[in-house]
Amino acid sequence: MKINNHFLFSNNNQQVPFKNTPNKGKKFVGLQYLVMHYTAVTKAAGSISWFMDKNAEASAHLLIDRDGSITQFAPFDTITWHAGKSQLNGLIGLNQYSIGIELVNGGRLKKVDNQFVCPVDQKIVNSNDVVFAKHKNETEPSFWHNYTIQQIEVATEIAALLVKTYGLKDVVGHDDIAPFRKSDPGPAFAMTSFRAKAMGRKDETIDNYSTTTAVNIRKGPGTDFLTVTDALPTNTKVVVLKREGNWSFVEVVGKVHGLNDVEGWVSSKFLSK
């Protein structure tokens, strides 16, 4: 992809679909960050309509759907209204300092009987797309809508392009700049790995390990959770993104069983440096 005059173009030199939101401000004078969000709904159409409604007083620069398709709402040199009350490193009100990307994702889900429901649009989420995890700013685990491989691949490419083009200092989540108010992009989003890839550097907080035997990789930290894919083979390289008790949430390095960007929980005792 490339950026031309602050608009995003695909690899075939076609401008991505653009909808000119009325909910925007002046040109940036202190752009420094990229902020990642989830929409809290499961379909793109609702968010697009919301960003085009001037009464909503909300917008972002980009929306990435679950199939990886992109909609742009404002040029990258223009302030949008995605951060609300927020602060970071002495800056107050991150709208005027950051580009915002929204990922279509239902966020925190409710379990109703044996189904998982998005509280905002009331849509049922397939159990295979649900992660049970604890948010970094909370003490109890919840059910969360997982992101798709297509979304993460597209978001990573765009984030790296934005960082390079605009010299951004860092990539953060909405939950980093408004921790008492917001929970997006949440624990289903591998922020540590995403940030490192977007910034084009190895994050020193990342721990690299290999599996010591064939080991199941699961949707949550425990044997009661379903597996993400077939067992990881011995000597599979993984990056530990976080730990919970005797379990580690890992990202597989490279491809496994024909899949890219595999993430999930494995028993820590089967990992070695």
Block means of pLDDT (10 residues each) for the chain, length 273 residues? 96 94 96 97 96 96 97 98 94 97 97 95 94 87 92 95 96 93 91 85 65 94 91 92 82 84 89 84
Catalytic status, residue 263: no
pLDDT of res. 249: 86
Catalytic residue among 57, 102, 204, 251: 102
Beta strands in 61-198 (DSSP E): 62-64, 70-72, 78-80, 87-88, 91-92, 98-103, 108-112, 115-117, 124-125, 130-134, 141-145, 170-173
Q: How far apart are the first and last CA of the chain?
A: 36
Segment 200-233, tens digit of pLDDT: 855 445 578 899 999 999 988 999 999 999 999 9
Contact between 251 and 193 (Cβ < 8 Å)? yes
pTM of the model: 0.77
Write down the pLDDT at residue 204.
47
